[in-house]
Amino acid sequence: LVRIAIKSRQLPYSCPIFAGYFPGILEKIYCSIITIGDELLIGQTLDTNSAWMARELNRKGIPLRRRVAVGDEPDAITAALDEERRYSDVLLLTGGLGPTSDDITKEVLCKYFGTRLIVNEGLRQKLIRLFESRGLPLLESNLQQAEVPESCIIIPNEQGTAPGMWFERDGKVFVSMPGVPLEMEAMMTSVVLPRLTERFHTPEIIHRTLITSGMGESFVAKRLEDFEKQLPDAVRLAYLPSYGYLKLRLTGFSGGDISMKELVSHHFSMLEQQLGDILVASEDISISAVAGKLLAENRRTLAVAESCTGGCIANMLTQVPGSSAYFKGAIVAYDNEVKFKVLGVDRSMVMARGVVSEETVKQMAAGARELLQTDYALASSGIMGPGGASEQKPVGTTWIAIADGQELITRKFQFRFNREHNIRSASIQAILLLIERMRHPAESSNRK
Amino acid sequence: LVRIAIKSRQLPYSCPIFAGYFPGILEKIYCSIITIGDELLIGQTLDTNSAWMARELNRKGIPLRRRVAVGDEPDAITAALDEERRYSDVLLLTGGLGPTSDDITKEVLCKYFGTRLIVNEGLRQKLIRLFESRGLPLLESNLQQAEVPESCIIIPNEQGTAPGMWFERDGKVFVSMPGVPLEMEAMMTSVVLPRLTERFHTPEIIHRTLITSGMGESFVAKRLEDFEKQLPDAVRLAYLPSYGYLKLRLTGFSGGDISMKELVSHHFSMLEQQLGDILVASEDISISAVAGKLLAENRRTLAVAESCTGGCIANMLTQVPGSSAYFKGAIVAYDNEVKFKVLGVDRSMVMARGVVSEETVKQMAAGARELLQTDYALASSGIMGPGGASEQKPVGTTWIAIADGQELITRKFQFRFNREHNIRSASIQAILLLIERMRHPAESSNRK
């Protein structure tokens, strides 16, 4: 799905995005991620750790070659270690460090590196203090977390009890971290990534990302054909599509001898110019954060009236830290009586035109803006499925509106996903309409 | 993290949950998932496909041995095929079937199986009709999706344009599906899973799941020590912890000669009895769906007043199809003025006690119940971070309340996650409080 502008496909087998840059100048290292846990093999847990690690490695210019998930079995873990060390220089392991009997990563690593477990007195004291402060009984299984392999470097766990471990052998690095996301992320950020970039002299990486909406990936790619052709070898373009919008990322790899930052900036400006009509933002932040920045910069406030999106628009907006500065609130008017009573939507109009209609979202937006006394108000009404459809209004039929005191702009959509993604897509489109209205107040008009 | 009650660890290296059952009676097969796409290696995409497939395979009793993610590189895909066929009988591939130049899975499979691409006339006609009906130009790259390897069995794609492919060699099955979740899920459900259970005579699997809350995993495990000991070999217990609740699943594997359903039911009843005081539900559905069922069964209605959760409670509740039958709506009162004006919260009380206080959530819940005329109303107010904390009220301090016309019950929490998970945890606790209040109306009382 990610299209990469690579001039020649004659690259060594490797992560294609980073492969083959400045051969000879920089050390080229590869990484594998091994996630350990039965919960990954029965679908209990979504592997968010690997995605987070992949993103951070990519930002630091460390190419990820493979991601592997195995169960809590010694042989499975050992086989994965043997295999991935053939592919990669750095093996990052998560999971299997907890206090229960199925957490066996530490023992497996001890055996793998021919070392033994010893009690670390500092860790033991920390555990005793922690359990005392929480007023919990300290079980034998908890105290075992103070035991660490003798030959490893300990990575402190500021967020929990299981320490991380850094092993080296034959020039290869093996890092074992807990599977708890916050603990793993803290270790990666404060210790593992800085140590890796230092240890392997990774390249300087410059990323610049912009967000577009309103044009499909293949049409954007067609427009950028010439742009891609003139890109220097050291700068790559990636297409990162999502529901309702498309991110484009320029990446520059520097050997230290050229001013990569300026080079990427130059091409990024060209990209911004070519995509000016569909540009949503020139940085890599969420759509909600884009809307939030615009609202905050212009000292504008926002209210939301949600029917079909059921709170999702408000939820997305309030995920952004500091959103209370511009987001006043939402009326989730799921029941029609709430639309009539709280938002002041006209009952007879709804009876005549239906609740999923242009006039309904107009009145909802106007009502929310009036009630919450804001500059802007968004509204949604639609049929998210699986039930509720009629012949005229199939599942996915959705109306969105924005009120700003001057005009009431509406959009109609026909989503084709399941309930969850219909709700999400409608919410994203509502926030995109707000961004468009703030960016180009003169150009917005009703589209169906 | 998933603790499995296995009496003997002397199992062959395999997925530990299913390994070693009824040797000789049933064919024992293993599966590997290979996900293909550079987007997985740069952290652009969260691999939800693998988790979904793992869950469905598990339900059908097909043990998953490994999950591997590789980039859009022929050698990487070929190496993964060679490797995983050593581990597994069934290799399920997703991704790399799109129309762009980096989608190379089909060509790689052609080469791997020594076959060639031929145009499938039925697929070609379907593509032409589809693009006509959508009024889109049909590019050469789109028409190539009608080409399929000569030696494979085609799996129709009801949701999109790229067909799935089923290969067999040396008794092993290789299935290639698109990476688009809806397309993959439809193929798995309608073709792949039924064919696999038929082809490999997989065992009859009975799962029974219950949900508990209010007690940590290790304490539940301690209580269930004797229960686990008396479990027959053919029945397994798994602990599936989540934010704020814990799922316990009994799984029975039948060789066809015993009434597995009755056996699992018997032990499930014992489990329900032993956990009666912390039982939330006796089926595997979301917390929102549990609350929804209770509301619908008792013909009760619900409103929500959200401050810190910012719409997340409403969003979770309305993810459930049919929620409009009992959920009337929500007031997301992010700004204090909305609390005063719309919910009727007393301004001077907030000035005196602070907005994150027991009295505030009580008044919010009462106000929402009154305004939306419902049987129950939930309310939330807290500090989700990273900003907004004080010495008395650190990040994570959260009050939850429920109003039911008789009493106002409140709970105080101290969450220790990041903003996103604090919001999510607070929302889950609010819904759990509603369930508790409906289940045990006499026993609820304020807890801090």
CA distance B121 to chain A (A): 25
Inter-chain residue contact A337 with B328, CB threshold 8 Å = yes
Residue B102 and residue B74: Cα distance in Å, rounded?
10
- pLDDT value for B27: 57
CA distance B282 to chain A (A): 18
Signed CA dihedral, A334, A336, A342, A343: sign only: positive
Inter-chain residue contact A54 with B71, CB threshold 8 Å = no
State pTM to two decimals. 0.85
Mutate which: A332, A375, A381, vs B, most B CBs within 10 A:
A332
Inter-chain residue contact A1 with B324, CB threshold 8 Å = no
- pLDDT value for A11: 28
Copy the structure tokens of residue B298.
């008792």
Smallest CA–CA distance from B34 into chain A, residue:
A68
- pLDDT value for B3: 37
Inter-chain residue contact B48 with A43, CB threshold 8 Å = no
Nearest Cα to B328, choosing from B380, B376, B379, B372?
A: B372
CA distance B69 to chain A (A): 5
Q: Decide if B119 contacts B147 (C-beta within 8 A).
A: yes
Q: Distance from CA of residue B175 to its chain's centroid? A: 23
- The closest CB to that of A2, out of B38, B321, B418, belongs to B38
CA distance B329 to chain A (A): 5
- pLDDT value for B102: 72
DSSP state letter for A398 = E
- The closest CB to that of A70, out of B66, B83, B221, belongs to B66
Smallest CA–CA distance from B218 into chain A, residue:
A100
- pLDDT value for B6: 32
Residues of A within 8 A of B102 (CB-CB) are 1-4
- pLDDT beneath 50, residues of chain A: 1-26, 448
Inter-chain residue contact B58 with A72, CB threshold 8 Å = no
Query: What share of chain A in percent tops pLDDT 70?
Result: 91
Inter-chain residue contact A3 with B37, CB threshold 8 Å = no
CA distance B227 to chain A (A): 17
Q: Decide if B177 contacts B197 (C-beta within 8 A).
A: no
- pLDDT value for B2: 37
Inter-chain residue contact B38 with A15, CB threshold 8 Å = yes
- pLDDT value for A213: 95
Q: Decide if A161 contacts A127 (C-beta within 8 A).
A: yes
- pLDDT value for B21: 40
ipTM: 0.84
- pLDDT beneath 70, residues of chain B: 1-27, 101, 255-258, 443-448
- pLDDT value for B36: 95
- A-B CB pairs within 8 A amount to 320
Inter-chain residue contact B315 with A312, CB threshold 8 Å = yes
- pLDDT value for B253: 76
Smallest CA–CA distance from B371 into chain A, residue:
A342
Residues of A within 8 A of B77 (CB-CB) are none
- pLDDT value for A15: 33
HEC readout, chain B: CCCECCCCCCCCCCCCCCCCCCCCCCCCCCEEEEEECHHHHCCCCCCHHHHHHHHHHHHCCCCEEEEEEECCCHHHHHHHHHHHHHHCCEEEEECCCCCCCCCCHHHHHHHHCCCCEEECHHHHHHHHHHHHHHCCCCCHHHHHHHEEECCCEEECCCCCCCCEEEEEECCEEEEEECCCHHHHHHHHHHHHHHHHHHHHCCCEEEEEEEEECCCCHHHHHHHCHHHHHCCCCCEEEEEEEECCEEEEEEEEEECCCCCHHHHHHHHHHHHHHHCHHHEEECCCCCHHHHHHHHHHHCCCCEEEEECCCCCHHHHHHHCCCCHHHCEEEEEEECCHHHHHHCCCCCHHHHHHHCCCCHHHHHHHHHHHHHHHCCCEEEEEEECCCCCCCCCCCCCCEEEEEEECCCCEEEEEEECCCCHHHHHHHHHHHHHHHHHHHHHCCCCCCCEC
- pLDDT value for A19: 35
